[in-house]
């Protein structure tokens, strides 16, 4: 009787475990589809990271009404990520800086004044889906440029929430959080994969 019950349970549960594992694999793969590495400077050097400096993200489109919520979601995500990385100092800078035309002199100066080892320059892009001024989808692309303390461009990575999660529901703020964490994970992964063992990646 026990043997028969075991066989029945095995037949019932095996498909469940199989499809659960398959679903987990597909979800993990989809999440990876969202991230992308756009640039990596193999010659740029980074000393051991103790302090990470974040500039306010550039928001596109440039509409003041959506910036506060974007900043809040972005820094919620970066704060969560920093807590998981141990004893690293985390600084926020309100100085505006263009994502597409980075003033490396400003980056170097602010890093020096704050004893920062690296600086992250982010951008959050919303997708417009209608004709109204504030008609946007909840999808975002979060892009990040990483600079060292000398103002050298180290890396650019991005995370597209639509490609990564296929998010059709949920708020734009949650998408910003997901995109920010996804871009940071990509940066950490690339630093680790490219001989970053001598310094602690962000």
What is d(CA 33, CA 138) in angstroms, rounded to the nearest whole number? Answer: 18
Residues of the chain with pLDDT under 50: 2-30, 196-200
Report domain 34-193's class: alpha beta
CB 138 within 8 A of CB 167: yes
Residues, the chain, total? 202
How confident is the model at residue 96, as a pLDDT?
A: 83
Q: Where are the domains of the chain?
A: 34-193
How confident is the model at residue 192, as a pLDDT?
A: 83
Phi, psi torsion values for 42, nearest 5 degrees? -65, -20
CB 58 within 8 A of CB 103: no
- 0.75 exceeded by pTM: yes
How confident is the model at residue 14, as a pLDDT?
A: 43
How confident is the model at residue 138, as a pLDDT?
A: 86
How confident is the model at residue 50, as a pLDDT?
A: 92
CB 60 within 8 A of CB 158: no
Residues 6+ positions from 36 with CB-CB distance below 8 Å: 157, 158, 159, 160, 186
CA distances from 133 to 171, 173, 175, 193 (A): 18, 18, 20, 43
């Amino acid at each position: 009787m026990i043997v028969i019950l075991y066989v029945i349970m095995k037949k019932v549960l095996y498909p469940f475990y199989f499809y659960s594992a398959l679903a987990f694999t597909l979800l993990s793969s989809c999440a990876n589809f969202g991230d992308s590495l756009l640039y990596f400077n193999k010659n740029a050097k980074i000393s051991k990271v103790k302090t990470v400096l974040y500039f306010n993200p550039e928001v596109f489109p440039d509409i003041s009404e959506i910036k506060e919520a974007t900043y809040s979601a972005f820094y919620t995500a970066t704060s969560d990520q920093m807590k998981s990385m141990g004893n690293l100092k985390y600084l926020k800078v309100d100085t505006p800086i263009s994502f597409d035309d980075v003033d490396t002199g400003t980056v170097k100066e602010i890093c020096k004044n704050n004893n920062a080892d690296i600086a992250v320059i982010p951008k959050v892009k919303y997708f417009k889906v209608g004709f109204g001024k504030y008609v946007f989808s909840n999808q975002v692309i979060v892009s990040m440029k990483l600079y060292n303390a000398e103002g050298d461009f180290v890396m650019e990575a991005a995370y597209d929430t639509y490609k990564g999660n296929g998010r059709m529901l949920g708020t734009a703020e949650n998408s910003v959080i997901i995109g920010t964490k996804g871009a940071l994970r990509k940066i950490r992964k690339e630093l680790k994969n490219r001989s970053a063992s001598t310094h602690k990646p962000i």
